[in-house]
A = this chain, B = another copy of it.
Amino acid sequence: MSILVVGSVAFDSVETPFGKVEEVLGGSATYFSTSASFFTDVRLVAVVGEDFPPEHLNFLRSRNIDLAGLQVSAGATFRWQGRYGFDLNEAHTLDTRLNVLESFRPELPEGYEEAEYVFLANIDPELQLDVLKKVRRPRLIACDTMNFWIEGKREALLKTLRNVDIFLLNEGEARQLAAEPNLIKAARIILAMGPRTVVIKRGEYGVLMVTEHAIFSAPAYPLESVFDPTGAGDTFAGGFMGYLAATRDEGDAAVRKAIVFGSVMASFTVEDFSLERLRTLSYPQIEERYRKFKLLTEFEGIEEV
């Protein structure tokens, strides 16, 4: 089952304590699509400028991502520049150039309005609403956001949330949106805004899922070398939605497994800059890390080593 994703495609320039890259492939929709493509078909709705090179398009096509909804506009592709210190949990934005993203209006190619799975990656909530108006009757809608929209476009964001099944956001954003320091209380406040599931991303500390009836906590996969956390959240979302779409199951048990697959995917992305690690990743490697993830969290019924 295919997923429709709307979000950004970007050139990222990133510096971490372990190295530096300039103008590499990035963007929320790029990470999401590539990650989800290991599980299901993806339809990408986004915009790039005329400077976007064919090799990046070829890479996305090689992952079976449908690019009919990728607009090419006059101007330059969106650029983001950021830096991470040793505390890799926090990105320091050095520069953001919206470029063609500034006048972007998502348009759905024919057939896209029948999408059953929709992911609204982190873009202006008014554009997220635009897309929601255009899709006919999705089976599952998930969305992401960021502090910038929580502050600047709260009303539009709240409108989006009323129509969303699963809301993914990070810990600080959850506290900010709910104006509540306790994370569980914050999650309950956000549930009352519309979503039936809130998935709170905590970087190196993993993920917390809260619904009316259940709480699920998954750690991040422990890594000895994290190179670049850029795109980890969108890669997580791609694995998460990809698994749900592939299984066509939205029950509590499926959502928990989807969170683990999302965490597994994110753990690969951070092992290298840009989407480098995902380019060489194979499904058996994903399955192997899923099994290790199980060993990481089990405390009953395990065998003695």
Contact = CB atoms under 8 A, between A and B. Distances in A.
Contacts of A224: 182, 184-185, 188
B222 A302 contact: no
Contacts of A218: 297, 299
Interface stretch (A2-10, A147-155, A159-167, A250-258): A250-258
Nearest to A304: B251
Contacts of A81: none
Contacts of A214: 295, 305
Interface residues of A, number: 44
Interface stretch (A20-28, A98-106, A202-210): A202-210
Given A182-B224, A185-B224, A294-B300, A217 B216 contact: no
A298 interface: yes
A252 B205 contact: no
A305 B260 contact: no
B213 A181 contact: no
Contact of A225 (B182, B256, B260, B297): B182
Nearest to A210: B222
Interface core residue of A188, A223, A298 (most chain B CB under 10 Å): A298
A181 B86 contact: yes
B252 A296 contact: no
A226 interface: yes
7 contacts: A17-B181, A87-B181, A205-B205, A218-B299, A256-B299, A256-B302, A294-B299
Given A86-B181, A297-B299, 14 more contacts: A182-B226, A184-B223, A205-B205, A208-B222, A214-B295, A216-B298, A217-B219, A218-B299, A252-B305, A253-B303, A256-B299, A257-B299, A257-B300, A260-B299
